[in-house]
Amino acid sequence: MGVTGVLELKGVAKDFRVRRGTLRALDGVDLQTSAGEFVCVVGASGSGKSTLLSLIAGLMRPTAGQITLDGRPVTRPGPDRGLVFQTGSLYPWRTVEENVGFGLELLPLPKPERARRIEWYLEETGLAALRTSLPRQLSGGQQQRVAIARALACEPDVLLLDEPFGALDVQTKEDMQVLVRRVWQDTGTTVLMVTHDVEEAAFLGQRIVVLACDPGRVATEIPVPLPEDRALAVKRTPEFLALRASVEDLVRAQHHRHLARSGG
Amino acid sequence: MAAMGATGARRGSAAAPAAGLERPAWPPLPQRAQPRWAPSLLAIRAPIPRRSRWTLTGLSLAVPLTAWVALAASGAVSETFLPSPAAVWSAGLEMARTGELFADLWATVQRVLLGFGLAVLVSVPLGIVMGTFRAGQAALEPVIGVLRYLPASAFIPLLIIWLGLGEPSKVAILFIGTVFFNTLMTADVVRGVPVALIDVSYTLGARRGEVLRKVIVPHALPGMIDAIRVNAAAAWNFVVVAELIAATAGLGYRIVRAQRFLQTDKIFAVLVVIGVVGLAIDLTLRLLRDRVGRWA
């Protein structure tokens, strides 16, 4: 795979101003991806998962620490870091193909070349038959496929997924997991995905990063000892179940600490 | 960790209740009788049969019209105060035959196009600036918020002193009456563009100007047309007010003139024309909005 997509976070902290003083959402986060890696970040609520992605996307600036992508410091959002939210980030007045082509329209790209690329991403994500549909005509899973295709069309060095399947039903979610793994293998993009679903993280990731709560920081990192070619059936193997159980215990422990502190 | 300290007091509630908490043997919940009167036509937000819909619409037009006819025919009210529909119709026809109706209508429409058109040209960009940039909001909102509460009709004497009795003062009243409302409503619509949509556009490589042009404006467009629709009705009101003062043509002027000669049938005819033209404007803008906002 390519040599791009090396994301590096060093001592990243983020404070939010609250009514009295500040609240530290993230503290001393160190994280690194290798080029083309699939990393899943799991954490209970209050672990600052989404804040972490916003920082990497450049939508906010960290209070302390550094974020670099292939050695370049991250200071603002850009097409080298594609972002997919949980729901509702499609342009409702644009058709599927116009959504996918949004980023390409901003570039000095000849029209046939743009069309050719849009076509490829539509095929890759199984949206070819829906190219002229509007977002409101699509199911939740189809909408997320458009969001993924739209981000990938900009050929990002890192694809950031923020709970992208959190609002989908279980069957659709599994279809999407298979799709994301295939797309990842076809494009070679580094993927950093945030989720609270440990099973999803174990199925998708090469490595799982568990976040601690209050403030959010890296509790532990766990390599995923599963074969690279994974079918959904892998979720029933003893290796998978053991991994899932141990990660779930870690996340649950953090969840309880969070409850004990916040009284929620 | 200031926030931690504040919530620490509730720590006890974090623990789940111990298993096996027994529910007291309280009496069963009281039952409520079904409401006796629940007509399906009055079910909240529920669709009603097509026939009922048309019947109700027909009645809402027919009842006042019939009442008018009956009242005029009964002779209970003098023809001078309440002309019969037939008299109004023939007065209208007569005004149309002489051509004064169309001259007046055109004079009024011209003022609306000019005054409200200018207001739209100013308020839409201003509203977009206010809704998009916090700096724009901080700078404009207090001023416009105050100006909006000054009644446009109160400006009439001042405008006559400043601009004279001619066209400019009438156009100015229309402008003042609509520009501030339309600015604030446009700003509100623009502020309704989801932040996620703006954020995601930046990650797709869009710059500020592109976000404004390719995301904020298209998303806000149907809402902006809605605002224009609401304020077009206001403009239509203000123009008649403006013409009551000093005009030599226009629907408002025609009403004042008819009053001098006690021609109530003419007044009624002009009112009908105002209503019909207003409805036509509203329908046109609604059609435009539905076309533009097909995606919503």
DSSP-derived letter for residue B155 is: G
**Are residues B205 and A23, on separate chains, in Cβ contact within 8 Å?**
no
CB B182 within 8 A of CB B119: yes
* Tokens 């799982």, residue located: A208
Mutate to test the interface with A, among B10, B193, B201, B204 (most CBs of A within 10 A): B204
B157: in domain: yes
B47: in domain: no
For chain A, the first-to-last Cα distance in angstroms comes to: 45
With H, G, I as helix, E, B as strand and everything else as coil, classify residue A160.
strand
ipTM: 0.93
Q: Which segments of B42-99 does DSSP mark as H helices, in order? A: 50-74, 85-98
Chain A residue with Cα closest to B215: A91
User: Angle at CA A80, nearest 5°, toward A186 and A200?
Assistant: 50
**Are residues A89 and B296, on separate chains, in Cβ contact within 8 Å?**
no
Question: Which tens digits make up the pLDDT trace of B120-147?
Answer: 999 999 999 999 999 999 999 999 999 9
B14: in domain: no
Question: How far does the CA of residue A130 sit from the closest CA of chain B (Å)?
Answer: 15
Give one DSSP letter per residue of B87-110, joined into a string.
HHHHHHHHHHHHTHHHHHHHHHHH
pLDDT category of residue B17 using cuts at 50, 70 and 90: low
B208: in domain: yes
d(CA B174, CA A213): 59
Chain B residues touching residue A89 (CB < 8 angstroms): 194, 196-197, 199-200
Chain A residue with Cα closest to B7: A262
CB A40 within 8 A of CB A207: yes
DSSP-derived letter for residue B212 is: I
Tell me what pLDDT residue B8 has. Answer: 41
Of residues A59, A78, A107, nearest to B199 (C-beta): A59
Domain count, chain B: 1
Question: How far does the CA of residue B227 sit from the closest CA of chain A (Å)?
Answer: 19
**Are residues A83 and B200, on separate chains, in Cβ contact within 8 Å?**
yes
Of residues A24, A89, A136, nearest to B196 (C-beta): A89
CB A255 within 8 A of CB A210: no
With H, G, I as helix, E, B as strand and everything else as coil, classify residue A263.
coil
**Are residues A214 and B202, on separate chains, in Cβ contact within 8 Å?**
no
pLDDT tens, chain A, 264 aa long: 446 899 999 999 999 999 888 989 999 999 999 999 999 999 888 788 989 999 999 999 999 999 999 999 999 999 999 999 998 799 999 999 999 999 999 999 999 999 999 999 999 999 999 999 999 999 999 999 999 999 999 999 999 999 999 999 999 999 999 999 999 999 999 999 999 999 999 999 999 999 998 889 999 999 999 998 899 999 999 999 999 999 999 998 888 888 887 765
Tell me what pLDDT residue B248 has. Answer: 85
Question: Which tens digits make up the pLDDT trace of B271-290?
Answer: 999 999 999 999 999 999 99
Residue A204: how many CA atoms within 13 Å on its side-chain side? 34
Size of interface A-B (CB pairs under 8 A): 101
B105: in domain: yes
**Are residues A57 and B206, on separate chains, in Cβ contact within 8 Å?**
no
Question: Which tens digits make up the pLDDT trace of B178-197?
Answer: 999 999 999 999 999 999 99
Question: How far does the CA of residue B130 sit from the closest CA of chain A (Å)?
Answer: 22
pTM of the model: 0.87
Domain extent for B167: 85-292
pLDDT category of residue B10 using cuts at 50, 70 and 90: very low
pLDDT category of residue B80 using cuts at 50, 70 and 90: confident
B12: in domain: no
CB B215 within 8 A of CB B201: yes
B71: in domain: no
A184 residue type, one letter: W
Residues 6+ apart with CB under 8 A from A210: A42, A43, A218, A219, A220, A221, A222, A247, A250, A251, A254
CB B99 within 8 A of CB B273: no
B60: in domain: no
Query: The domain spanning residue B97 has which CATH number?
Result: 1.10.3720.10
For chain B, the first-to-last Cα distance in angstroms comes to: 44
**Are residues B203 and A79, on separate chains, in Cβ contact within 8 Å?**
yes
**Are residues A91 and B197, on separate chains, in Cβ contact within 8 Å?**
yes
Residues paired with residue A39 on neighbouring β-strands, in sequence order:
A192, A207
